[in-house]
């Protein structure tokens, strides 16, 4: 950068920093002009500010120790990694429920699930890309899963750590643990019946209701029978309400006719000077 431009930017940055430190409001144009934030003591360009919030965040960051900054960075890495774990587990569970809806069960369902987990992890960007795999190994609580499963063989290839291979085992283990926490056992993936507790892996299940309850066949039929009875009761209640309303309307109409006849017999309505308000009130009651 030419010296005259560098001095100009430095002067602008120092001025802007002084305004920020003093708490004075400055315009977006001033912020935009302060392309480089200058640390006055060392005369080193250190940050780019375009808003007051960024300046505030920078001051908070500057006050932290190197260890605190490293902990914060690792926290972000862990949050990102375990969000991947949760998303992957939820996706696998959703596909498992689709299989159960088609009445798949037994060895077929178990073999499909285990193979599907393996293929899903193998195709994940978390494992494919070296940088993501390295960050995954920093974040995972199961970073030693590969060595537990296979020992040292294959961990280093052509003089370099095979991060993707190591992360595959860690990520797969974390996803399987997450599946367990949301009710999926990879060895017995067919859920027990929610009504009777039937857990035979070779017995078909049915997913019913708005809440996706998992039921065996007998409990499903019992639920359907109860639902039909409830609908019949609701229909009977509705018919009773309509009949009662009809009776009340008939009684009200009869009363109005009787009173209207009485008015006519008395000649009250034929008298121009007589108000019809009383009759109107009677008719509307």
pLDDT per residue as tens digits for the range 194-244: 888 888 887 888 887 776 788 888 888 787 776 665 666 666 667 667 777
Give residue 79's pLDDT.
Answer: 94
Give residue 213's pLDDT.
Answer: 81
What tens-digit pLDDT sequence spans the chain (285 residues)? 444 333 344 444 444 444 444 444 445 444 444 444 444 444 444 455 667 777 777 777 778 788 888 888 889 999 999 999 999 999 999 999 999 988 888 899 999 999 999 999 999 999 999 999 999 999 999 999 999 999 999 999 888 999 999 999 999 999 999 999 999 999 998 888 888 888 888 788 888 777 678 888 888 878 777 666 566 666 666 766 777 777 777 667 676 666 666 666 665 544 444 444 554 554 455
Give residue 169's pLDDT.
Answer: 96
Share of the chain above pLDDT 70, in %: 64
First to last CA, the chain: 92
Give residue 54's pLDDT.
Answer: 75
Give residue 19's pLDDT.
Answer: 47
Cβ-Cβ contacts under 8 Å for 87 (sequence gap 6 or more): none
Q: What is the 3-state secondary structure (H, E, C) of 145-191?
A: HHHHHHCCCCCEECCEECHHHHHHHHHHHHHHHHHHHCCCCCCCCCC
Are 177 and 211 spatial neighbours (Cβ–Cβ below 8 Å)?
no
Q: What are phi and psi of 215, to 5 degrees?
A: -130, 150
d(CA 254, CA 252): 5
Give the chain's length.
285
* pLDDT per position as a tens digit, 125-139: 999 999 999 999 999
Give residue 103's pLDDT.
Answer: 87
- What does the DSSP 8-state code read for residue 274? S
């Amino acid at each position: 950068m030419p010296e005259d431009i560098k001095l100009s930017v430095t002067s602008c940055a120092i001025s802007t920093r002084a305004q920020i430190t003093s708490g004075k409001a400055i315009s977006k144009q001033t912020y935009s002009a302060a392309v480089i934030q200058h640390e006055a003591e060392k005369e080193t360009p250190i940050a780019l500010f375009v808003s007051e919030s960024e300046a505030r965040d920078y001051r908070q960051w500057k006050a932290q120790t190197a260890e605190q900054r490293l902990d914060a960075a690792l926290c972000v890495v862990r949050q990102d990694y375990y969000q991947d774990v949760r998303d992957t587990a939820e996706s696998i569970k959703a596909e498992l429920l689709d299989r159960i809806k088609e009445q798949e069960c037994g060895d077929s369902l178990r073999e499909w699930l285990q193979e599907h987990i393996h293929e899903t992890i193998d195709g994940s960007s978390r494992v494919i890309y070296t940088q993501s795999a390295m960050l995954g190994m920093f974040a995972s609580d199961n970073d030693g899963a590969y060595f537990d499963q296979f020992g040292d063989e294959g961990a280093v290839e052509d003089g370099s750590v095979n991060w993707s291979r190591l992360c595959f085992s860690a990520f797969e283990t974390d996803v399987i643990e997450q599946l367990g926490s949301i009710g999926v056992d990879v060895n017995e993936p067919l859920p027990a019946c929610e009504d009777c507790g039937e857990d035979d892996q070779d017995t078909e299940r049915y997913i019913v209701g708005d809440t996706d309850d998992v039921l065996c066949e007998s409990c499903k039929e019992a639920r359907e029978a109860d639902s039909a009875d409830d609908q019949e009761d609701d229909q009977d209640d509705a018919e009773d309400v309509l009949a009662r309303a009809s009776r009340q309307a008939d009684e009200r109409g009869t009363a109005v006719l009787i009173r209207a006849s009485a008015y006519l017999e008395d000649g009250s309505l034929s008298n121009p000077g007589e108000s019809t308000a009383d009759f109107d009130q009677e008719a509307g009651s």
